[in-house]
Amino acid sequence: MPSHDFRGPRLFVDAPLAQDGRVELDRDQSNYLGNVLRLAAGAEVLAFNGRDGEWQAAIEGRKRPDGLVILQQTRPQDRLPDLAYIFAPLKHARLDYMVQKAIEMGAASLQPVLTRFTQASRVNTERMRANVVEAAEQCGILSIATVAEPVPLERFLTQRAAGRLLIFCDEAAEHENPIRSLQAARAGEGIDVLIGPEGGFAEEERVLLLRQPKILRLALGPRIMRADTAAVAALALVQAVLGDWGGERG
């Protein structure tokens, strides 16, 4: 059974949280609590900031919610697995979906990379951050994943830490059992999971990727997936074999 309350509303606040403290609400938060959820002064919510755990808090304010009084901690702060999701951006709603699912799957950081066949020419990182927060609020997640600005794939590969395992999901790879391939891998200093664009990687990009240290070229079965579907499949496999789903890794 989950150890936290799925029924009560949760709110991310960018402020320190401690017992008997007070947090000012911004206009959007006030509108959400008062007009969307129709909560009044005295109603309780769960507040978190990605640093201090989760806290029970009471709404205060006369005409509308304008602050929270912090009551008691409900869960201590945890940490996400050292799992980075690297991806070629998609357009609009499908990018929103992909970001939300990556957060639900436990990604600690999101890094857009621009490839030869990337569909989206512009990436709204503020919208991505809003989706990260929304997914964390809705799914009981305490930590907030970081969102990096997009960079060309080649630059990302030259800047990443060489000790990290790079799991490169490639539709052109041999269709070997992905679970066995992951079981033979060693995460070492963290894991980067890379999903390319809808059109796949260009051959020169594939060559560059295969030159990377600690590379695992992974096939996701005999069918071609859309990029957002591949994200869910790949992150589920990695979390089940190398991540924190088994409960044995800290």
Check residue 1 and give its pLDDT.
Answer: 39
Question: How buried is 213 (Cβ within 10 angstroms: 0-12 exposed, 13-18 middle, 19+ buried)?
Answer: exposed
Residue 81 and residue 94: Cα distance in Å, rounded? 25
Check residue 224 and give its pLDDT.
Answer: 86
SS3 165: strand
Nearest 5°: CA angle at 125, between 228 and 34? 95
Question: What letter represents residue 240's amino acid?
Answer: A
Check residue 250 and give its pLDDT.
Answer: 40
Check residue 172 and give its pLDDT.
Answer: 77
Residue 110 and residue 89: Cα distance in Å, rounded? 11
Check residue 5 and give its pLDDT.
Answer: 65
Check residue 249 and give its pLDDT.
Answer: 44
pTM recorded for the entire structure: 0.90
pLDDT tens digits, the chain, 250 residues: what are they?
A: 355 666 779 999 999 999 999 999 999 999 999 999 999 999 999 999 999 999 999 999 888 899 999 999 999 999 999 999 999 999 888 999 999 999 999 999 999 999 999 988 789 999 999 999 999 999 999 999 999 999 999 999 999 998 999 999 988 777 788 899 899 888 778 999 999 988 889 999 999 999 998 999 998 988 888 999 999 999 999 999 999 887 554 4
Q: Are 70 and 47 in contact (CB under 8 A)?
A: yes
CB-CB neighbours of 160 under 10 Å: 17
Residue 228 and residue 115: Cα distance in Å, rounded? 16
SS3 172: coil
